[in-house]
Structure 1
């Protein structure tokens, strides 16, 4: 019976997506139809209303639209140009040269963005033309941007981590802190690969040696952003504010930065607000649809049946994590990160906790797995962002991102072998 229900659910969902129905509505319709057919005695209107209301009224979700608004304000302030001008004198003479601006810029913007696509767009809008003008390898420039842009999901404040925390009923503050060390470790791995590649191929263009005066002047460009990041990170670690309070302060900080950089205008702020509303509404629709689908799965016993089937295989904890990683990479080729989180957690989280893994650690692991989906075709959002900026084919950009795909894959396995990479910093808060 479970096989038939699962097949019906898969066909319904794929059919709706193939008909260009929005993901959130496809999730909702699939759950509604499953319950109507297999549990006809449930009063669907009342039940669906309660499930939907409960899914979007969690207090922790208040931070989500605020962090999105903060990111959009900084985008309106044309932050990308300041990032390049501020970072270039500091990294230009390193092995890999200005290519490191892709990674360092993405790391900084990720710390105030929470979005992978936004990080890729704002950094790439400036760095790709500049790197091309300086004669850097176009393939490596695109690949490093695709990989580094994924840091927007891992380094706090992360929109995906907020959603994971609400669905998994875990502390968003702890999740944010747990993402700090893995995020910076991943950035270092990216920069190490770029340096090694340029050293081995000897393809790094020569640029003028910046003076210390140039470097100090460059700090003025990134100083306000670094100050905002320091405030957010410090408040997180010291527990001075809840995620919602932190998001409100972040919006205020973004407004102050826009004013200090003389890039504040009423029209730009209105445009930023509209974009934030659209993004928040899209995520909210996905959360509501997935909540009903997950409730339907729960009533029909699908998560329990799947868990029992997997348990029957007798997998070791490490083998289970490897299987889940492959599962997330495959499903990430066809769904966005928000949908992946809210659809799969009711099934995968009980399996992982039963195997002895910490749910906070699993949150970081899942985010890294979702990061991989950002650079894998056909639905790798970072690939589409870079395509819109370069005009290259998705295939060419995906090939350029292959080394960073394997770095992410290896890092996910490293997290499984050494969970303290994610758990050490939250542990120091206790």
Structure 2
């Protein structure tokens, strides 16, 4: 699935070394052997974390005379000991506890009471519940899996189009990384040495924009499909009683995001507070037990290990590529092209959208960022703004047919036996408006940069 990307990187290495006139010897037999090994490596389905590391070693051996293998351990230790990275397993653990405590179902039911009367009915609940859950989970896959398991039973036997139901759940799941505290922002900040807090502030405006665009798609669908125009009237007293289901989520949002935005805690410290808050609400509902905590910790550890292996392999590959001067060469070459910066940025956005159709979003950003980021800086774009753009492109990749991760998560939850093409068709309107949101952010960068500038981040 990702072989083409790495072969492209290898080709860039050849071109870069040739353009810079680097004094390296690359025998033809060695090069052909390397390409053959790469083809075998990715064709045999080697895990991506291992593939990244092996690729880095092969490229270093082929193009460099430096004994880099003597300090591989030091390269891996650097990112693994980062204080910022500790926030990743903590946010994952918080989401797992909330899922097993049943708080996500209470959130969905409460939102349903308030939103079902809007044109589009229950479909709005999918988006808004996912948006709120994203603010305490930090993961698109976790948001899609949680909201999908809660929402799908509500639509059985209704007149709603299965395609739009699945499409709205996929779109809502795609908000998981964009709405703070998204994990992708933490990884981006770690690689580019930018501020996580500033990235979270910058994501506020684009997050609201994307939610409004998704809502507009559902309103249009509701007006065109009168059968699902709106749900039954609910007495106001019942609506206010339903708000109790929102309290745990809102308090956790205030605890996590409020402490980050207010400058009272770092993202890592806020994540730890979120875990304690999730355990408190689970205990209030009588769901807290050693078994539940063990299952939550085990699931979080699996995902953290997956992310860690990918990150360490990518760091090794990135170190080798940077040592050979490829990012610097590309930044110099691209910035000197006879094109305006916005045209080059459009090409970069187009590249990410194309990669997202066959490559997992998280792996895509880790692999490409060391090459693309210097180019973006050379063009004069703000690193914080570009972090939001990259995160939005990762989310687009997660709902891009035919390989979007979120799409397959939802397909796996279906019990009707229908093909995945339903999910593909249902997500397309949301996919297109998400691309429109990225282009709007390109034209109006203030949507992302206004809040950080006001708060002095």
- Using the size of structure 1 for normalisation, the TM-score is 0.95
Work out the CA distance in 2 between the residues paired with 1:301 and 1:209. Answer: 64
Equivalent residues of 2:163, 2:423 under 8 A apart: yes
Equivalent in 343, 349, 353 of residue 325 of structure 1 = 349
Is it true that 1:167 corresponds to 2:198 in the alignment? no
In structure 2, relative to structure 1, the CA distance for the partners of 1:133 and 1:257 (3 Å cut) is farther
Partner of 1:350: 374
Deviation digits for residues 36-84 of structure 1, max 9, x if unmatched? 1221x32243232221111222221111111111111111112332122
Equivalent residues of 2:199, 2:388 under 8 A apart: yes
Partner of 2:43: 18
Partner of 2:420: 394
Equivalent residues of 1:290, 1:342 under 8 A apart: yes
Partner of 1:73: 97
In structure 2, relative to structure 1, the CA distance for the partners of 1:263 and 1:135 (3 Å cut) is farther
Equivalent residues of 1:61, 1:162 under 8 A apart: yes
Deviation at 1:290, TM superposition (A): 0.3
Residues paired across the two proteins, number: 429
Deviation digits for residues 123-177 of structure 1, max 9, x if unmatched? 1112122123332111111111111111001011111110000001000111112
Deviation at 1:30, TM superposition (A): 0.2
Classify the secondary structure of the residue corresponding to 1:151.
coil
Work out the CA distance in 2 between the residues paired with 1:258 and 1:160. Answer: 27
Equivalent in 290, 300, 304 of residue 280 of structure 1 = 304
Classify the secondary structure of the residue corresponding to 1:94.
coil
Partner of 1:265: 289
In structure 2, relative to structure 1, the CA distance for the partners of 1:345 and 1:89 (3 Å cut) is same
Classify the secondary structure of the residue corresponding to 1:313.
coil
Work out the CA distance in 2 between the residues paired with 1:4 and 1:425. Answer: 39
Mapping for residues 72-151 of structure 1, pairs under 5 Å: 72-151=96-175
Classify the secondary structure of the residue corresponding to 2:321.
helix
Deviation at 1:426, TM superposition (A): 1.3
Deviation at 1:98, TM superposition (A): 1.1
Equivalent residues of 2:327, 2:375 under 8 A apart: no
In structure 2, relative to structure 1, the CA distance for the partners of 1:13 and 1:142 (3 Å cut) is farther
Classify the secondary structure of the residue corresponding to 2:246.
helix
Classify the secondary structure of the residue corresponding to 2:159.
coil
Partner of 1:33: 58
Equivalent residues of 1:79, 1:122 under 8 A apart: no
Partner of 2:441: 415
Classify the secondary structure of the residue corresponding to 2:253.
helix
In structure 2, relative to structure 1, the CA distance for the partners of 1:119 and 1:11 (3 Å cut) is farther
Deviation at 1:351, TM superposition (A): 1.4
Equivalent residues of 2:332, 2:378 under 8 A apart: no
Deviation at 1:345, TM superposition (A): 1.5
Deviation digits for residues 202-238 of structure 1, max 9, x if unmatched? 2316533111121112111121111111222221221
Further displaced range: 175-184 or 94-103 = 175-184
In structure 2, relative to structure 1, the CA distance for the partners of 1:206 and 1:406 (3 Å cut) is closer
Further displaced range: 260-269 or 156-165 = 260-269
Work out the CA distance in 2 between the residues paired with 1:178 and 1:13. Answer: 39
Work out the CA distance in 2 between the residues paired with 1:249 and 1:191. Answer: 31
Work out the CA distance in 1 between the residues paired with 2:254 and 2:59. Answer: 48
Further displaced range: 74-83 or 159-168 = 74-83
Equivalent residues of 1:177, 1:236 under 8 A apart: no
Deviation at 1:311, TM superposition (A): 3.2
Equivalent residues of 1:306, 1:347 under 8 A apart: yes
Aligned-pair Cα RMSD in Å: 1.9
Partner of 2:78: 54
Work out the CA distance in 1 between the residues paired with 2:208 and 2:35. Answer: 38
Partner of 1:291: 315
Partner of 1:429: 455
Deviation at 1:417, TM superposition (A): 0.6
Partner of 1:155: 179
Equivalent residues of 1:160, 1:337 under 8 A apart: no
Unmatched 5+ stretches in structure 2: 1-9, 16-30
Runs of 4+ in 1 over 6 A off after TM superposition: 6-11
Query: Which structure has the larger Rg over C-alpha atoms?
Result: 2
Work out the CA distance in 2 between the residues paired with 1:2 and 1:154. Answer: 32
In structure 2, relative to structure 1, the CA distance for the partners of 1:3 and 1:59 (3 Å cut) is closer
Equivalent residues of 1:190, 1:404 under 8 A apart: yes
